[in-house]
Structure 1
Amino acid sequence: MTLKELSVGDRARVLGFLAEGGAYRRKLLAMGLTPGAELSVTRVAPMGDPVEIRVRGFALSLRKDEADALKVEKL
């Protein structure tokens, strides 16, 4: 599943990146979204874009296409 499919309050672990998400891969890695990192969804904007997550002790907002590039496992 991808990060975009999670709801507010859900927790997940990063598994990797989708092949078509290549443009965002380096950016997401630099922001701490490495495989094995745990995150939680704290907010989703009314139209679904952006999504705010909490990862490694800080809040991070991602656009829908960035969130769709991230493969996660729901915890």
Structure 2
Amino acid sequence: MKHTLIAILFALTACASVGSGPQPLPGSLTYGGKVVHSPYRTGTVVKHTFLGQFGDRVFESYVVQADGTLKLTSQSTGPDFLWR
């Protein structure tokens, strides 16, 4: 019973971790299914920052695809201020 429960939890965790990458948030360049075409060469990394829903700064990286569209590759959040 114990091993079955562990196997089920492991399988659910594995399924949850397999995904299509970060999801666009309101404020993202590709949010809501928007298609953005870039004038840059294929493989170029485009960085984008914006203020998130709860006041945090959102940092995103996109890569220009072969057809000129942007693909969201990474996303992180941080405070919108610096302590001095």
Please report the TM-score for the alignment, with normalisation by the length of structure 2: 0.28
Structure with greater strand share of residues:
1
Greater Rg over alpha carbons, structure: 2
Structure with greater helix share of residues:
1
Please report the TM-score for the alignment, with normalisation by the length of structure 1: 0.30
Which protein has greater RCO, CA pairs closer than 8 Å, 6+ apart? 1
